[in-house]
Amino acid sequence: MAPTSNILRVVHLNPSGQLGGAETSLLTLLTSIREAGFEVALILGEDGPFRERMERLGIAVHVLPLPEGLARLGDSALSGRGRLARVAVLISGVLWAIPYGWKLASAIRRLRPSLIHTTGFKMHILGAWAKPASTPLLWHLQDYVGKRPLMRGLLAWHRRFCSLAIANSRSVALDLERQWGSRPQVVTLPNTVDVDVFAPHGPRLDLDKLANLPPAPPGTVRIGLLGTFARWKGHHVFLRALSLLPADLPFRAYIIGGPIYRTGGSQFTFDELNAEVKRLGLGDRVGFTGFIGQSADALRALDVVVHCSTEPEPFGMVIIEGMSCGKAVIVSRAGGAAEIIEDGVDALCHTPGDAEELAAQIERLVRDEDLRLRLGAAGRCKVEARYARSLLQREIASLYEQQCLQSGHLTPSVAGGAE
Ligand code: GLC
């Protein structure tokens, strides 16, 4: 019989200690969970700025470093390799995973969770191995499974251990339902932002200084692509679009972020992007700021935020963050990203990978300040109404309570108030 108690303990597992979109979405999610009265502990597969941010929020973090062979394992690390090499990588991955699974299981047992919530494909699988038999496991899917042959196979195999799957957009939910049918059940829970942190007013970073560029002349419109250096985030499309803009257009562009993940073969390097800037003759019209922890301060320093993923974006945190800061956002129209915005009303769109169309939208916004302000104001209203953190708390609390009731970790008399 599962232990029942009126304090519900959630143990969250996440592979990365960096601050990518998945982790920024977790900052708000875990804060909401704690505010709803749950005890929260986080186990990370890597140390990094995410741990510091969570600890500053008062959340207990345990770092259990993933062995390198496991951290680097992923579909992108396997692609392009021969069959034998793929099998060898997989076998070594499993050999690394077994002892890690043991350690994870004992770390979880010590935390006595009522429920385990995982993000990141590796933690979905490791969580299934390491969880106590009666503890519900929630998989929080933030990326498309259908596109990843390795993870798709592994998740299908382990899905009987998952009590509920949460998808960050309808588009991700549909992808899951296509793979799995109706088991486990999938619910859609869009990400949210803290609208007081991502607010139109507040500190603004000096992006020129961070990028080692001379100050831009007054009247320069600042355009930024903020994100990790995953290849599908479209940095090359952004640079090509910039190279198509008229020479006298008063703009400066910034690439904000860096190659923060460890999965092999999936990211641009600074050298590659720098070479592209040179090849396209962009000179000091583009600057690289490197990774910035306080992304709200960076977004506030921009006039236009560009999202240009070349593949359907599962959600796109930077879109709601930019809108919440009252910025004009240009979005690559596909996947979960397309569910967030209304083209021409609260953002502008372009076709994924289409540099000409993106260039046209950038030029429109550089030339039209009124349009920038109108889209920015409408974007802020949309986020306040649909993507504000305060909206998340009730939904996540009720999902957790249902799961804990079903597993016997919560008695009916205390459901509806976790304290
Ligand atoms: C993943 C997705 C991204 C999403 C983030 C938060 O990084 O690729 O689209 O915004 O998770 O859910």
315 CA: nearest ligand 1 atom: 9
Q: For residue 113, is the peptide bond before it cis, meaning its omega torsion is within 30 degrees of 0?
A: no
Other CB atoms within 10 A of residue 241 CB: 27
Q: Is 261 in the pocket of ligand 1 (CB under 6 A)?
A: no
Ligand 1 centroid from CA 262, angstroms: 16
Q: Is 20 in the pocket of ligand 1 (CB under 6 A)?
A: yes
Q: Where are the alpha helices (DSSP H) in 112-205?
A: 121-130, 149-158, 170-180
Q: Find out whether 319 and 307 touch, Cβ atoms under 8 Å.
A: yes
Residue closest to 382 by CA, chosen among 168, 152, 190: 190
The confidence band for 3, taking pLDDT boundaries of 50, 70 and 90, is: very low
Q: Find out whether 154 and 121 touch, Cβ atoms under 8 Å.
A: yes
Ligand 1 centroid from CA 169, angstroms: 10
Give the burial class of 1: count Cβ atoms within 10 A of its Cβ; 0-12 exposed, 13-18 middle, 19 or more buried: exposed
Q: Is 255 helix (H, G, I), strand (E, B) or coil?
A: strand
Q: Is 120 in the pocket of ligand 1 (CB under 6 A)?
A: no
Other CB atoms within 10 A of residue 32 CB: 22
The confidence band for 1, taking pLDDT boundaries of 50, 70 and 90, is: very low
24 CA: nearest ligand 1 atom: 6
Q: Which residues pair with 12 in a beta bridge?
A: 42, 117
Residues 311 and 233: their CA atoms lie apart, in Å, by 8
Residues 282 and 285: their CA atoms lie apart, in Å, by 6
Q: Left, alpha or beta for 208 (phi > 0: left; psi -120 to 50: alpha)?
A: alpha
318 CA: nearest ligand 1 atom: 10
Structure tokens at 215: 């100050």
Residue 413 CB-half CA count within 13 A: 3
Phi, then psi, of 171 in degrees rounded to 5: -65, -40
Residue closest to 33 by CA, chosen among 14, 8, 67, 64: 8
Residue closest to 336 by CA, chosen among 187, 180, 153, 175: 175
Q: What is the pLDDT of residues 211-247, one digit of tens each?
A: 999 999 999 999 999 999 999 999 999 999 999 999 9
Shortest-distance Cα residue to atom 6 of ligand 1: 22
Shortest-distance Cα residue to atom 10 of ligand 1: 316
> Starting from the edge strand earliest in sequence, which strands make up the sheet with 164-167, in order?
60-63, 39-44, 9-14, 115-119, 137-141, 164-167, 186-188
Residue 314 CB-half CA count within 13 A: 22
168 CA: nearest ligand 1 atom: 12
Q: What is the largest CA-CA distance in the chain?
A: 72
314 CA: nearest ligand 1 atom: 9
309 CA: nearest ligand 1 atom: 9
Q: Is 191 in the pocket of ligand 1 (CB under 6 A)?
A: yes
Phi, then psi, of 288 in degrees rounded to 5: -110, 120
pLDDT at 415: 58
Amino acid identity of residue 384, one-letter, is E
Q: Is 314 in the pocket of ligand 1 (CB under 6 A)?
A: yes
For residue 44, give every residue at least 6 positions away whose Cβ sits within 8 Å of its Cβ, in sequence order, or none. 14, 15, 16, 17, 50, 51, 61, 62, 63, 64
Q: What is the pLDDT of residues 241-287, one digit of tens each?
A: 999 999 999 999 999 999 887 665 689 999 999 999 999 999 889 99
Angle at 46 between CA 41 and CA 47, to 5 degrees: 80
The confidence band for 419, taking pLDDT boundaries of 50, 70 and 90, is: very low
Mean pLDDT check: name the lowest of 42-51, 172-181, 222-231. 172-181
Structure tokens at 166: 């949460």
Q: Where are the alpha helices (DSSP H) in 159-294?
A: 170-180, 207-210, 235-243, 270-279
Ligand 1 centroid from CA 142, angstroms: 5
Averaged confidence pLDDT in the chain: 92
169 CA: nearest ligand 1 atom: 12
Ligand 1 centroid from CA 120, angstroms: 10
The two counts, helices (H) then strands (E), for the chain are 17, 13
Q: Return the best residue to mutate from 26, 28, 142 for the ligand 1 pocket (most ligand atoms within 8 A of CB).
A: 142
Give me Rg for the CA atoms of the chain: 22
Domains parsed from the chain with CATH numbers: 9-192+389-407 (3.40.50.2000), 207-386 (3.40.50.2000)
Q: What is the pLDDT of residues 80-128, one digit of tens each?
A: 777 777 777 778 888 889 999 999 999 999 999 999 999 999 999 999 9
Q: Is 321 in the pocket of ligand 1 (CB under 6 A)?
A: no
Looking at residues 314-336, what average pLDDT do you find?
A: 98
Looking at residues 328-351, what average pLDDT do you find?
A: 98
